[in-house]
Amino acid sequence: MTHSYLLISPCRNESEYMRQTLDSVVNQTVPPDLWVIVDDGSTDETPEILRDYADRYPFIQVITRENRGHRSVGPGVIEAFYHGYDQVDVSQFEFVCKLDLDLDLPEK
């Protein structure tokens, strides 16, 4: 039995590691029903990488927040997560997961 799930990934300047995470999620046997990636004002190549993946995978939705001018570890990550969470009707999903964009998930 498969379950519907939503991933929410806050990110900022993750271009060095994010392809590994993006590839590991899109190669899962059961991809997410929706993956909301909140770009929290990246100034590196993160926006271009996200646009490429969103163009290729219809379950990826990118939300871009304005650059606040500095990194805010902790509170900034939580704010970005809830910004994405508030854009989705989470009642459509059985599970909601926060996933950082610097992880590598084994294929399953």
The residues, ordered by sequence, that sit 6+ positions from 108 with a Cβ below 8 Å of its Cβ are 28, 29
pLDDT at residue 73, rounded to an integer: 62
Note whether residue 103 is domain-resident: no
Q: Chunk the chain into consecutive blocks of 10 residues (it has 108) and report each block's average pLDDT, rounded to whole numbers.
A: 86 93 94 96 96 98 82 75 94 95 79
pLDDT at residue 66, rounded to an integer: 83
pLDDT at residue 77, rounded to an integer: 85
Domain boundaries, position 88: 5-98
pTM of the model: 0.90
CATH of the domain at 32: 3.90.550.10
Note whether residue 106 is domain-resident: no
In a 13 Å sphere around the CA of 100, the CA atoms on its Cβ side amount to: 10
Q: How many structural domains does the chain have?
A: 1
Note whether residue 61 is domain-resident: yes
∠ Cα 15 21 24 (to 5°) = 145
